[in-house]
Structure 1
Amino acid sequence: MAFAPDTWPRQFRDLIRQSNKYLLNPLMLRLAGTKYWYASVVHHTGRRSGKHFATPVVADRVGDRFIVPLPYGTQVDWLRNVLTAGGARITTKGQTFDVTAPEIISATEALPLLPRDRRRTFERTGIEHYLRATIDSTS
């Protein structure tokens, strides 16, 4: 049984996004990206404002790429910023990587690449889209 946030009623989904943005995310950012925490941080630049932002996400390194689930769909601001800029920085497990060539991929393409425990979790939640980005080997 899937319960992906992008299938929830819009008003409820927007309420959850706003509470995450102003309550949960600032708390998560204290640990996200650190060596022993599960969450990572995407550092991105606002496509209109030019301001720098940090957003906590789950990011799995798979070879020379990162796979990031998109439980709130493909129209979230941080993702739109990354796609517009053509890249970002991801901090995970105490290391920071520049990433390029961001693209949205389907669950069918992403899930087989992920570790078994993550794959099962994401299958259960019914996440349909993922961000895939390549680690910039020149940085």
Structure 2
Amino acid sequence: MMLPAIVVGAVVAAYLILLGWGMLMRVERISDRTRQATKRLNPYLRWAAGTRLGTLYFNLSALHHVGRRSGRPYVTPLSAYPLGDGFVLAAAFPHVDWLENVLAAGECTLMWNGAEYPLERPEVISRQEAMTAYPLLVRPFLAGAAGQNKFVLLHRVGTPTEQTAAG
């Protein structure tokens, strides 16, 4: 029973090392290699993403979204951190499909810590606002990340908007 946890830990560690390496180097060639490695690793991470085990490893969550052109359902493993009435997600590269899909659809579902959260009203937020959601140990990976200038806040379905709450 310990072996799956060790395997998940090793895969997630490799994923984060590759992701962090690409972001810190600020070289487009490295970013392309990291993007390719991420696409290869994602299928192996999906089984743990969104589970309690996945949450232990850097809040690994599963984002369920629909392709903006194809209408095809996708599952993307990524780190999600709670903020206010929703979750903050960081785009690891300048143009990521999951972000474009979520912005186009206006909704998605996040599996986080073994629970399912329907989310809506995606909004791109500032780096400064997003950093408040991240633990201190994670912030250095995001601080100097090349291309990581997009953070999205997704609100839980049914929570009031600022206008509704104020008015």
TM-score, normalised to structure 2's length? Answer: 0.70
CA distance 1:6–1:128, change in 2 (3 Å): farther
% identity of equivalent residues = 32
1:24 aligns with 2:41: yes
CA distance in 1, matches of 2:25, 2:139: 19
Q: CA deviation at 1:121?
A: 4.1
Displacement of 1:111:
0.9
Higher helix share goes to which structure?
2
One-letter amino acid of the structure 2 residue matched with residue 79 of structure 1: L
Alpha-carbon distance in 1 for matches of 2:25, 2:90: 15
**1:136 Cα deviation from its structure 2 partner:** 0.7
Aligned partner of 1:58: which letter?
S
Q: Which has the higher strand share?
A: 1
SS of the equivalent of 2:138 reads helix
Q: Tell me if structure 2 keeps the 8 A contact 1:91–1:97.
A: yes
Q: Which has the higher contact order (CA 8 A, sep 6+)?
A: 1
Q: How does 1:47-58 map to 2 (within 5 A)?
A: 47-58=68-79
Count residues in correspondence.
135
1:98 to 110, 118, 138: 118
Partner SS, residue 101 of structure 1: strand
Range that drifts further, 44-53 or 12-21: 12-21
2:65 is matched with which residue?
44
Distance 1:122 1:86, change over 3 A: same
Residue deviations 1:70-91 (CA, integer Å, cap 9, x gap): 2212x21111000000011111
Q: For the residues of structure 2 that align with 1:15 and 1:125, how far apart are their CA atoms?
A: 15
Q: Is the 8 A contact 2:22 2:30 kept in 1?
A: no
Counterpart AA for 1:68: L
Paired with 1:71 and 1:65, the residues of 2 have a C-alpha distance of 19
Segments of structure 2 that go 5 or more residues without pairing to the other structure are 1-19, 160-167
Show structure 1 runs of 5+ residues with no match: none
Distance 1:83 1:122, change over 3 A: same
Contact in 2 for aligned 1:112/1:119 (Cα 8 Å): no
Contact 2:107-2:122 within 8 A present in 1 as well: yes
